[in-house]
Structure 1
Amino acid sequence: MTDTSAPQAPNEGQNGATPAGLRVLGQYVKDLSFENPGHTPVQSQPNIDLGIDVGATPHADGNGIYEVSLKLSAKAVSDGTVLFITELDYAGLFQLQNVPQAQLEPLLLIECPRLLFPFARRIVAEITREGGFPPLLIDPVDFVQLYQQQYRRAQEAAAASGQTPPVQDA
């Protein structure tokens, strides 16, 4: 049997439309701080309080470009003394093409931070090491679970204020 259909362009789908795509346009540090308030040597294994937050906003240029921000914060405490506090706001510009609206939020809040995380993790490890402490190696993050937690909080906040809760797409 012979295929008589016309050849497709390399980036066209079966219906002739360009398939959905994600491009990383750039990554950068928006804000970074490291505080060593006590200059105290580590006497015991410190407790680390770690915070992670993800956000996404459309970029002013439009064209399907979004800025995704991954915020990491860590506070190390040993014997009631704060050893260090570090905060990193690491962002990336992502261009999305032909992404269905139902998949837009999960893509921005799960997949994009997943791409940013290894770079942000390295920065936090280096800044704590340069601050005179062992490098803080953050364990891998389950961004699906983080997204679901944020979604539940948004639902609860909407219910408490009497608004219509958001619909989860993922």
Structure 2
Amino acid sequence: MSDENFQGLEGETGPQLRVLTQYIKDLSFENPNAPRTVGPLSEQPQISVRVDVGAQRLGETEFEVTISLGAEAKIQDELMFLTELDYCGLFRLVNIPAEQLEPVLLVECPRMLFPFARRIIADATRDGGFPPLLIDPVDFVGLYQQRRTEGEVPN
């Protein structure tokens, strides 16, 4: 291998996507009916999950991307738990064509963040006295297309 394969990114002019940092912006877990709801259960809980993504420009090439995850579990009308998470990443995007910026921010960046956010939700539910909630993988392309169809993302 030649040394050119190990050159730094400074000399590159192609598209670049870097994760600068990741962090929890907001996390909550509510267990309002404990200890009644943390023991053996007579039936399976109804679990609903919400997923959203957003991005905001912080600088010329820096963007904050947020995955918002929410989950609640109920048996009949009794709430077992409610958890909400805003998990963020600070990304540096360089030489990304303008028409590709939005899909990179709302599809590719959330794909990178999702495994970490999923683990935080699993840990929170486990630490709350329940089996860990492992959220199914998210189709970020489908979510992006749905938001575009509904007019939430400009064309």
TM-score range, shorter chain: 0.7 to 0.9
> Is residue 2:46 matched to residue 1:32?
no
Displacement of 1:37: 1.1
> Is residue 2:121 matched to residue 1:118?
no
Q: 1:23 to 1:43 in 2, by over 3 A?
A: same
Q: Is the 8 A contact 1:54 1:70 kept in 2?
A: yes
User: What are the ranges of 5 or more consecutive residues in structure 2 without an aligned counterpart?
Assistant: none
Equivalenced residue count is 147
The within-5 A match list for 1:114-153 is 114-153=111-150
1:101 corresponding residue in structure 2? 98
User: What are the ranges of 5 or more consecutive residues in structure 1 without an aligned counterpart?
Assistant: 1-6, 156-164
Q: Is the 8 A contact 1:11 1:19 kept in 2?
A: no
1:166 corresponding residue in structure 2? 154
C-alpha distance in structure 1 between counterparts of 2:107 and 2:29, whole Å: 27
Q: Is the 8 A contact 1:27 1:93 kept in 2?
A: yes
SS in 2 for 1:124: helix
Q: 1:118 to 1:9 in 2, by over 3 A?
A: closer
In angstroms, what is the RMSD of aligned CA positions? 2.1
TM-score relative to the length of structure 1: 0.80
| Equivalent residue in structure 1 for 2:69, among 64, 67, 72 | 72
Q: Larger relative contact order (C-alpha < 8 A, sep ≥ 6)?
A: 2
- If you compute each CA radius of gyration, which structure gives the higher value, 1 or 2? 1
SS in 1 for 2:117: helix
Q: Which amino acid aligns with 1:33?
A: S
Displacement of 1:10: 4.5
SS in 2 for 1:154: coil
- Structure 1 stretches (4+) deviating beyond 3 angstroms? 7-12
SS in 1 for 2:118: helix
> Is residue 2:27 matched to residue 1:21?
no
2:51 corresponding residue in structure 1? 52
C-alpha distance in structure 1 between counterparts of 2:140 and 2:43, whole Å: 31
